[in-house]
């Protein structure tokens, strides 16, 4: 297998720019810079940072939110028209996904023509909404939080502004709280039973945190007969980011069943169904159903949802609540590289001249494995020695040998791969060799805090796509782990999904300097470091983390008191593009 030459097309694939939600808004220009294309404008990310003297920033591309809303609306509109479905689409934005005022205003503004509504669950979110509501047309609000006097007061105020208010009831407490306000409609939130794959599978089941069981509902209906009449909505929620279409289909089937059950139980005024969130955002868009890569599109989702209810005699109005889909793509975290360090051990070659000869002799995968195995034998014996026998020389030797495997032997194997003397499948079959050949050789220290900027990376091991702002017209130099500014060992990213399965080529791709495996055609490869160019001395480099627009703003932590970042807000006004800089959180370093 020969070594592939590089192209911008390959770069777009390797760095995840082939994304159905972002489209071509993020692209690579001819000189290899990452650019943002809005209307006819082309903005280099590096220029945005340098011109504004920013070391770190959140770039917010608001037109990406508009684009996602339009995509959703058009998908449902088309399906509804084609099938003759009698219900309407009622999109709502679940505020928890990103309740910062800028984004909520976007939803109001871009959602004007779609009457995009809201879903909220806390008093603070409600108060924010109330603050903004007077500037826009009234919407629908689905409230699914705790009910208190202050909450009800806020809901009534919105109602007086012309809003339609639907409140999920979850207990006697809730029902008693709203009994005397007939203007407030009731949503019945039912616990789904099916368990989709993924991080949020505990969200469903009879013991899930939210919703009623059918039997609890029956009991409540017996005690409070009037709720039958006031209930207008069935609400369910399957958990976040459901990546498999088969799970989506099973879940939507269950929603339909529950809807039919509620009609059977006498809830005849229910005319709207909210199947909750769950629509997965393609953090990588490989369509394989893996956790970060849904195997369905928004059109697939719309078709399934509509066709599920199409067979019923009553076609409910459909609520779309996919918040990740709407806002994930809009925010990029950009951070400068502060330092580049060797990732693990380094060695002084002169100590290991004897071993060098053995490396020269490696001609096959089994030669390599044998040499590694012998060296690991020595490593084991050094480690097992009692402390009295160890000395500084032995720790040096230990480190030398580790470095020797990670550098010299790894590079020799890579060379043999390129020469075709080793087949890449032999490496794929050997866990240890694969680990060595996909490990980082450098640690980049970045001007960021993973806890503040991409908290889900530590909270739920969320995968975020990373890309450098320049040098994209050449193969990357090294695999690198990305360490942040915090004094926390969790503050580091060292995994990367290399979508070789999308490559239309026969050749493997290696990094340029450390000769690590970067991509194998036909194989989705998990790397243990991010492929990056080496910064030139004296030049500022930046790394970008994509798709950080959902949840990351409010889950941000203040570890080591590092938090906040200047913001670069990109918006359009007619045909022109506006760029606004908001300076805060600038003193990170």
**Please, which of residues 469-528 interact with its own copies by CB under 8 A?**
483, 485-492
Candidate residues 1, 132, 214, 418; the one interacting with its own copies per rule CB under 8 A: 214
For residue 416, give both structure tokens.
């043999």
Cross-strand bridge partners of residue 537: none
Candidate residues 301, 343, 404, 496; the one interacting with its own copies per rule CB under 8 A: 343
d(CA 361, CA 563): 52
Candidate residues 144, 185, 285, 567; the one interacting with its own copies per rule CB under 8 A: 144
Considering the complex, state which of residue 209 and residue 225 has its C-beta at the smaller distance from its own copies: 209
# of chain residues touching its own copies (CB under 8 A): 94
Q: Least distance to its own copies from the beta carbon of 383, Å?
A: 8
d(CA 253, CA 502): 32
Considering the complex, state which of residue 151 and residue 466 has its C-beta at the smaller distance from its own copies: 151
Share in percent of the chain as helix, strand, coil (round to 5):
40, 20, 40
Binding track over 395-414 against its own copies, x by CB under 8 A: xx-xxx-xx-----------
Phi-psi domain of 538 (left: phi exceeds 0; alpha: psi -120 through 50; beta: other): left
Which sign does the torsion angle of CA 177, 182, 184, 188 carry? positive
Q: Least distance to its own copies from the beta carbon of 172, Å?
A: 9
Q: Least distance to its own copies from the beta carbon of 61, Å?
A: 23
Q: Is 385 in the site for its own copies (CB under 8 A)?
A: no
The region of 12-20, 60-68, 340-348, 427-435 touching its own copies under the rule CB under 8 A is 340-348
Considering the complex, state which of residue 151 and residue 427 has its C-beta at the smaller distance from its own copies: 151
Q: Is 350 in the site for its own copies (CB under 8 A)?
A: no
Binding track over 183-202 against its own copies, x by CB under 8 A: ----------x------x-x
Considering the complex, state which of residue 340 and residue 577 has its C-beta at the smaller distance from its own copies: 340
Q: Is 346 in the site for its own copies (CB under 8 A)?
A: yes
Binding track over 123-142 against its own copies, x by CB under 8 A: xxx-xx--------------
Candidate residues 156, 359, 523, 555; the one interacting with its own copies per rule CB under 8 A: 555
The residues in 444-473 that bind its own copies, with binding defined as CB under 8 A, are: 445, 451, 455, 458-459
Q: 159-166 contacts: CB < 8 A, separation 24 or more?
A: 159/183, 159/184, 161/133, 161/134, 162/138, 163/133, 163/138, 163/139, 164/117, 164/138, 164/139, 164/140, 165/141, 166/140, 166/141, 166/142, 166/232, 166/233, 166/272
Considering the complex, state which of residue 208 and residue 468 has its C-beta at the smaller distance from its own copies: 208
Report the alpha-carbon angle 169-170-171, nearest 5. 105
Cross-strand bridge partners of residue 468: 543
Give the closest residue to 189 by CA, choosing from 216, 162, 229.
Answer: 216
The residues in 415-444 that bind its own copies, with binding defined as CB under 8 A, are: 443
The residues in 225-284 that bind its own copies, with binding defined as CB under 8 A, are: 239, 253-254, 257-258, 260-261, 264-265
Give the closest residue to 178 by CA, choosing from 110, 115, 246, 230.
Answer: 230
The residues in 10-49 that bind its own copies, with binding defined as CB under 8 A, are: none
For residue 295, give both structure tokens.
């195997």
Quick one: which H or E segment has residue 544? strand 542-545
Considering the complex, state which of residue 254 and residue 285 has its C-beta at the smaller distance from its own copies: 254
What is the widest separation between alpha-carbon atoms in the chain?
A: 88
Q: Is 558 in the site for its own copies (CB under 8 A)?
A: yes
Q: Is 336 in the site for its own copies (CB under 8 A)?
A: no
Q: Is 381 in the site for its own copies (CB under 8 A)?
A: no
Q: Is 156 in the site for its own copies (CB under 8 A)?
A: no
Candidate residues 41, 78, 88, 213; the one interacting with its own copies per rule CB under 8 A: 213
Considering the complex, state which of residue 108 and residue 210 has its C-beta at the smaller distance from its own copies: 210
Q: Least distance to its own copies from the beta carbon of 348, Å?
A: 7
Taking a C-beta distance cutoff of 8 angstroms, is the pair 547, 281 a contact?
yes
Q: Least distance to its own copies from the beta carbon of 147, Å?
A: 9
Q: Least distance to its own copies from the beta carbon of 421, Å?
A: 29
Considering the complex, state which of residue 400 and residue 547 has its C-beta at the smaller distance from its own copies: 400
d(CA 111, CA 106): 8
Taking a C-beta distance cutoff of 8 angstroms, is the pair 412, 359 a contact?
yes
Considering the complex, state which of residue 173 and residue 583 has its C-beta at the smaller distance from its own copies: 173
Considering the complex, state which of residue 265 and residue 577 has its C-beta at the smaller distance from its own copies: 265
Candidate residues 40, 180, 215, 574; the one interacting with its own copies per rule CB under 8 A: 215
Taking a C-beta distance cutoff of 8 angstroms, is the pair 243, 280 a contact?
yes
List helix spans (H) across 84-206.
101-110, 123-133, 149-160, 172-178
Give the closest residue to 36 by CA, choosing from 568, 583, 584.
Answer: 568
The residues in 65-124 that bind its own copies, with binding defined as CB under 8 A, are: 94-96, 99, 121-124
Considering the complex, state which of residue 67 and residue 347 has its C-beta at the smaller distance from its own copies: 347
Candidate residues 4, 18, 170, 567; the one interacting with its own copies per rule CB under 8 A: 170
Residue 5 DSSP SS3:
coil
Q: Is 171 in the site for its own copies (CB under 8 A)?
A: yes
Strand segments (E) across 410-541: 442-446, 466-468, 478-483, 492-493, 496-499, 509-510, 517-519, 524-527, 530-532
Considering the complex, state which of residue 346 and residue 579 has its C-beta at the smaller distance from its own copies: 346
Q: Least distance to its own copies from the beta carbon of 390, Å?
A: 6
List helix spans (H) across 364-441.
365-384, 392-404, 410-418, 424-428, 431-437
User: At a CB cut-off of 8 Å and minimum separation 6, what does 327 contact?
Assistant: 65, 68, 97, 98, 103, 549, 550
Candidate residues 112, 179, 339, 429; the one interacting with its own copies per rule CB under 8 A: 339
Cross-strand bridge partners of residue 508: 3
d(CA 518, CA 534): 15
- Measured in residues, the chain has a length of 589
The region of 15-23, 25-33, 213-221, 280-288 touching its own copies under the rule CB under 8 A is 213-221
């Amino acid at each position: 297998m020969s070594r592939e030459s590089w192209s911008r097309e390959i770069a777009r694939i390797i760095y995840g720019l082939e994304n159905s939600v972002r489209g071509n808004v993020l692209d690579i220009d001819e000189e290899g810079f990452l650019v943002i294309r809005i209307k006819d404008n082309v903005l280099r990310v590096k220029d945005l940072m340098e011109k504004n003297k920013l070391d770190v920033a959140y770039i917010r591309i608001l037109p990406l939110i508009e684009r996602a809303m339009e995509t959703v609306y058009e998908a449902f509109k088309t399906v509804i028209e084609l099938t003759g479905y009698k219900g309407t689409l009622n999109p709502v934005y679940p505020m928890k996904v990103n309740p910062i005022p800028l984004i909520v205003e976007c939803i109001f503004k871009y959602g004007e023509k779609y009457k995009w509504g809201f879903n909220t669950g806390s008093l603070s979110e409600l108060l924010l909404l109330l603050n903004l509501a007077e500037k826009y047309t009234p919407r629908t609000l689905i409230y699914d939080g705790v009910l208190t006097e202050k909450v009800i007061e806020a809901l009534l105020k919105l109602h007086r502004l012309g809003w339609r208010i639907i409140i999920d009831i979850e207990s006697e407490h809730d029902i008693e709280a709203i009994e005397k306000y007939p203007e407030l409609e009731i949503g019945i939130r039912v616990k789904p039973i099916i368990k989709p794959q993924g991080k949020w599978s505990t969200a469903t089941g009879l013991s899930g945190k939210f919703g009623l069981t059918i039997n609890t509902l029956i009991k409540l209906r017996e005690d409070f007969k009037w709720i039958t009449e006031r209930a207008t909505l069935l609400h369910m929620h399957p958990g976040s980011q459901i990546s498999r279409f088969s799970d989506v289909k099973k879940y939507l089937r269950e929603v339909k069943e529950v809807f039919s059950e509620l009609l059977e139980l006498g809830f005849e005024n229910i005319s709207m169904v909210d199947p909750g969130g769950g629509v997965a955002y393609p953090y990588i868009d490989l369509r394989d159903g893996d956790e970060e890569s849904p195997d369905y599109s928004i059109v697939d989702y719309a078709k399934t949802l509509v066709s599920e209810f199409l067979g019923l005699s009553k076609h409910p109005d459909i609520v779309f609540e996919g918040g990740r889909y709407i806002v994930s793509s809009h925010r990029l975290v950009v951070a400068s590289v502060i330092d580049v360090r060797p990732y693990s051990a380094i060695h002084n070659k002169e100590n290991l001249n004897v071993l060098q000869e053995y490396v020269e002799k490696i001609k096959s995968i089994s030669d390599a494995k044998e040499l590694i195995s012998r060296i690991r034998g020595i490593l084991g014996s050094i480690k097992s020695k009692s402390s009295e026998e160890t000395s500084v020389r032995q720790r040096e030797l230990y480190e030398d040998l580790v470095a020797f495997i990670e550098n010299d032997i790894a590079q020799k194997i890579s060379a043999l791969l390129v020469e075709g003397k080793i087949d890449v499948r032999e490496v794929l079959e050997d866990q240890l060799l694969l680990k060595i050949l996909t490990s980082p050789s450098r640690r980049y220290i970045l001007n960021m805090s993973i806890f503040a900027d991409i908290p889900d990376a530590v909270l739920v091991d969320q995968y975020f796509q990373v890309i450098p702002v320049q040098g994209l017209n050449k193969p990357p130099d090294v695999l690198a782990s990305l360490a942040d500014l915090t004094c926390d060992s969790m503050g580091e990213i060292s995994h990367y999904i290399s979508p070789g399965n999308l490559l239309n080529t026969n050749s493997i791709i290696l990094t340029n300097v450390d000769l690590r495996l970067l991509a194998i055609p036909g194989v989705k490869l998990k790397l243990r470091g991010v492929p990056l160019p080496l910064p030139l001395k004296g030049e500022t480099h930046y790394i970008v983390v994509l798709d950080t627009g959902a949840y990351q703003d409010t889950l941000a932590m203040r570890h080591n008191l590092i938090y906040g970042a200047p913001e670069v807000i990109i918006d359009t006004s007619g045909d022109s593009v506006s760029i606004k800089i908001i300076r805060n959180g600038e003193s990170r370093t």
